[in-house]
Chain A
Amino acid sequence: MMEKSQDFEEETFDLFLTRKDLEELLKKMGYQIDSTGVIIDSETGRPVKGIKGEEINIKKDRDFAVVFGSHIFVRNIAEFSHLLSEKNLIIFKREE
């Protein structure tokens, strides 16, 4: 462990929250979670979908994430990888 505090300004964090905190944050962001676990966008009244077009259900898609930069939901790691690919964020380094 290391101790260090820097200026918070300009920092960007990937956050790993408890389920409770994540659900609360989603609600503050304007989403609702229906009784079956589907995340609904309050603005449109429609379920939010992952990048492959399937609804996100917090009870079934336990590994989902919200990705900013394009504000998109991904159901799991494989969808996240697909998003990284579409955003040209996967860089293969040359092996010697």
Chain B
Amino acid sequence: MDYSFLSVLDKLIDRVPLFLKILEKIESWFHERKEVLEIDVETLKNLMNLYKIFEKLKEEERLLENKEIRALFENAEKFFEKYAIGWSSKRGKYVIIRKDYEEFQRYLEKIITLKKAESKSFFFITTLDIGFNYEELKTTPKYLEEDLVQVISRLPSNIKFEFISLINLSIHIEKLYLDGRMEEAENIKKSIKSVYGDFGLKFLNLFQRKYLKTFLRTLKEKDPLTMEKEIRKFFEEDTRYIFFIHKDMTIDDIEKIKIKVKIALQNKENYVAIHSLGEATLIAESIIKDIEKNKIPEEYTRHMVDKPTDYKTFTEKGEEASVRDFSVIWYKGEAGKRLFGFLLNFV
């Protein structure tokens, strides 16, 4: 018996009444009066999820043999044929628009003629399954401490756009972790890797772990040339032996990290650290166990973190659980102490 198939079927059947109710409600509102309907984030998320299910059902025809799921599929098909979804800058709201609304048709024609021409307003078009994530990134305010805002505004021009973009993404991902939206965070991390490579992920991890934030503060009084030099040193030298363990790492990746850490400790590098979160903590624990089979040079101070974070995750049953942090740091000398201070958020 195909248990995963049955589990998908069961979960989906449970959600059918909710989705049908939402579609019915929207339909009745439109029937009463309007061509444009403002909706809240929750309704948008439900429609986004319904769209994802709708697309999956097109590929999994087997599921359509079930009467309730077929009804949902057909209703969703009609709905998506009839309505478009988006964000109105003027209203500051998510909206549903009747596709056959004349004004909307004119609006689309206007977009078509905009090709290659400069338009004054900044707006985008994407698919329904990702639109909300784009919109959140575009419209959610990003908060940073005053001194960091000042440092960022003075970054050297050759790295400025990249750094500002990565800080923007780092703050956004932090929010997703705090909201328990791990899957969306992971998806954005993949896009960071594809655009900025390993540097992008390192940036994100160092920012999340406070190293980067605290380091940037030390640049407050520096001129652009010194800033650039110190930034390069920070990424290429100081943080070379900080490792972030990910749950999808291959055995080969893990073995490489073990070797690098062992060599770094043998060579008495100033700062060696292994950080992990959530599911990756089990991998990190096994790495540490293996490394500490060998004697660690006595110059090092060892610091271990093993505690829940403010990040949330949800179990398969939908119960909220906190994400665990497991980190081990070995540091020595003034340079090591300085980096350890960055982790603890003091300069």
Contact = CB atoms under 8 A, between A and B. Distances in A.
Main secondary structure of the interface of B (DSSP, over half): helix
Contact of B87 (A13, A69, A95): A13
Interface in B88-131: 88-91, 93, 95, 97, 101, 103-104, 107-108, 111-112, 114-131
Contacts of B112: 25, 28-29
Q: How large is the interface on B (under 10, 10 to 19, 20 to 34, 35 or more residues)?
A: 35 or more
Contacts of A77: 130, 133-134, 137, 169, 187-188, 191
B238 interface: no
Contacts of B104: 8
B174 interface: no
Contacts of B88: 11-13
B336 interface: no
B165 A85 contact: yes
Contact of B124 (A8, A75, A80): A80
A87 B152 CA distance: 16
Nearest to A4: B38
Interface string B153-175: 00000001110111111001000
B29 to A, nearest CB: 6
Nearest to A87: B122
B80 A18 contact: yes
B114 A68 contact: yes
Given A12-B90, A93-B141, A78 B169 contact: yes
Contact of B152 (A25, A84, A92): A92
Contacts of B191: 63, 75-79
B86 interface: yes
Interface residues of A, number: 56
Residue with the greatest number of chain A CB neighbours at <10 A, chosen from B39, B134, B188: B134
Contacts of A85: 160-162, 164-165, 168
Interface in A14-66: 14-19, 21-22, 25, 28-30, 43, 52, 62-66
B26 interface: yes
B38 A3 contact: yes
B43 interface: yes
A15 B103 contact: no
B194 A75 contact: yes
B162 A82 contact: yes
Contact of A81 (B43, B125, B129, B137): B137
A36 B145 CA distance: 46
Contacts of B122: 67-70, 87, 89
Contact of B143 (A12, A43, A64, A94): A94
Given A13-B107, A52-B195, A71 B114 contact: yes
B344 interface: no
Contacts of A63: 126-127, 130, 133, 187, 191
Given A25-B125, A71-B116, A90-B168, A14 B55 contact: no
Interface of B: 25-26, 29, 32-40, 43, 48, 51, 55, 80, 84-91, 93, 95, 97, 101, 103-104, 107-108, 111-112, 114-135, 137-138, 141-146, 148-149, 152, 160-162, 164-169, 172, 187-188, 190-192, 194-196, 200
